[in-house]
Every structure is written in C-alpha cells, then in structure tokens.
Amino acid sequence: MGDLLIFVNFYLLPGLVLGSIYALGAIGVSLVFGILRFAHFAHGDMMTLGAYLALTVVAVTGANPMLALPLAMIGTAIIALGIDRWFYKPFHDKSTIVLVIASFGIALMLRSLIRVIWGVEIESYSVGISRPLVFFDSLRIAERHIWIIGSTVVLMLIVHWLLTRTRTGKAMRAVSDSPELARLTGIPTERVIKATWMLGAALAAAAGVFVGWDTQLQTTMGWNLLLPIFASAILGGIGRPYGAMAGGMVIGLAEELSTYPWIGTEPLLSPGYKTGIAFAIMVVMLIWRPAGLLRGRVY
C-alpha cells in the first residue's frame, strides 16, 4: 500500500470523522454560550444520551444507526427543552456562574440516569465485524465513516439554512450578537432560547451517535469529549457556529494527523498524547487570540 493511501486510510479519514464529531458538539456549545452566556458542561452528557437513545432504537428495531439518528436527535432535543424549563430557566436572571454549576449538576444527573437505565457495560450498535468498502483496489473506507462524514455535511448545511434563511435562526444570531438590543427590538428571547436548546441538543445527539458508531458506547463517552469540544468552540470563536464547525474539523484533524510519521519513521507524536493536542490548541488560542479565529465574544 502506498504512503498516500496509508495516510488517507489511517490518518486523514479518522481525522475527518473525529472532526465531524467535534464540530457537531461544538456548534451547540458555541450557540449556548453565545445566547445564554454560560459554558454548558452537560453538553457531553447530552451526546451520551443521544447515543443511548439510538442504542434502544437499534436494539428494538434492528435498524441501522443511521435510521435511529433522527429519533435520537428529536428525543434529546425534547429532553433538553425539559432540562431548560425545570433546571436552567429558574436561574436565567442569576449570575451565569450559577448556570455553569447547574449544568455540572445536570451532567452528573444525566450520566447517573443513563447508568441506571442502560447499565454500565460497554455497548455497541452492531455485532460482528463490518468489512470496509474498497475503492480503487486499496482505498479502504468503512461504510460508517461515509455515513458519518456525509451526514455531518448535510447537518451543517441544514444549520446554515436555519441560521440564514429562517426567522428564528436569524433571531438566534441577533440574540447572540446583542441580547439587550434583541429585547428592545421585540424578539421573544424565551422562544429563541428554546430553539437554541433544540438545535444544540439535536446536534449533540448526532455527535453522540457517531461516536458510538465509530467506537463503542460508554456512559463516560460524552464527558470525555468535553475538552476537545470546548477547545473547538473557543478556536472558532464563542457564539460563532461557523467557527465551531471549522474549529472542530481543525482539532479533529490535528489530533489524528499529529501521530503521522511526518519526520522519519516514528509517529510525530506518540498516540498517547493525542488528546493533549486539543488542550494545547485551547491554551494557545486563549493566550494569543481569545476571540477565536472568527472573532467571537470575549467575556
């Protein structure tokens, strides 16, 4: 197998898959931060929730995870609305640190609830080994990777359409720009907040399903992805959904490509340090350009 094919099969494609997952999670984190002004630490566990909802659909119907995806997204969006209604909304007029702490609480509650309902065993959507599709004799792509990257592209186009073509989407950008002016303009902030939760949670659920499909389902899967997802949102600029998409892709690719033997024959970075990449990028961005690549808000 040529060097290029090794690069594509084992570094570039996994990087794009990881980037898709980070991007989908980061859009929600960035929107919630932009509109509700707090770091939502339960976002990772919303991803886990989406993944496990899809697991139930897959187990009951025997369907492909792709078919379970829309149901998992809708279910997670509804649960997020409930969480906002009963746990976050009562604190809307409090200082944002109260909401941050509340979201920590929600993260713990969601994870415990998932353990109670689905158990603590490691789960998987499929049994057995699926053979990758082979193109041009040697380009091997797992079918799920095509689905994951393809659906991410579709979801991002939908997000773009929502934010630029629909009234509520434009209002979300307006509230993110200036909440005070939005109120003075007559935009119903509560409705915008609900839309934000639905969109953010649905995308988080999609990211969760993709993680579970690509690897396996564990109750800590979402929590463990929180750091790279926040790093992606910060890299792109807080409150900038397009920045979050780009930031997620950059960090996903950077993590995977950092282990490629760029110099000599040894991996540039030992795979054990892969997760440090996101942290390093976040630290550098916060020092060098805290507003992010797309000039988001600085608090």
| Residue whose tokens read 């490629």 | 260
The minimum distance between CB 295 and another protein, in angstroms, equals 9
Residue 228 neighbours by CB under 8 Å, 6+ apart: 22, 251, 252, 255, 275, 278
Q: Does 173 engage in binding with another protein (CB under 8 A)?
A: yes
The minimum distance between CB 236 and another protein, in angstroms, equals 13
Q: Does 177 engage in binding with another protein (CB under 8 A)?
A: yes
The minimum distance between CB 172 and another protein, in angstroms, equals 11
| Of the residues 83, 187, 209, 251, which one makes contact with another protein according to CB under 8 A | 187
Count of CB atoms within 10 A of residue 156's CB? 19
Q: Which range of residues in 16-24, 60-68, 111-119, 172-180 is near another protein by CB under 8 A? A: 172-180
**CB-wise, 208 or 237, nearer to another protein?**
237
Instruction: Dihedral sign for Cα 182, 185, 191, 195, please.
Output: negative
The minimum distance between CB 39 and another protein, in angstroms, equals 21
Judge contact between 257 and 201, C-beta under 8 A.
Answer: no
**CB-wise, 179 or 290, nearer to another protein?**
179
Q: Which range of residues in 36-44, 184-192, 213-221, 257-265 is near another protein by CB under 8 A? A: 184-192
Q: Does 181 engage in binding with another protein (CB under 8 A)?
A: yes
Within 139-168, which residues bind another protein (CB under 8 A)?
167
Residue 37 neighbours by CB under 8 Å, 6+ apart: 96, 179, 299
| Of the residues 46, 182, 221, 282, which one makes contact with another protein according to CB under 8 A | 182
Q: Does 184 engage in binding with another protein (CB under 8 A)?
A: yes
Q: Does 291 engage in binding with another protein (CB under 8 A)?
A: no
Q: Does 193 engage in binding with another protein (CB under 8 A)?
A: no
194's tokens = 């609900």
User: Could you tell me how many residues of this chain bind another protein (CB under 8 A)?
Assistant: 18
The minimum distance between CB 120 and another protein, in angstroms, equals 44
Q: Which chain residues interact with another protein by CB under 8 A?
A: 167, 170-171, 173-174, 176-178, 180-189
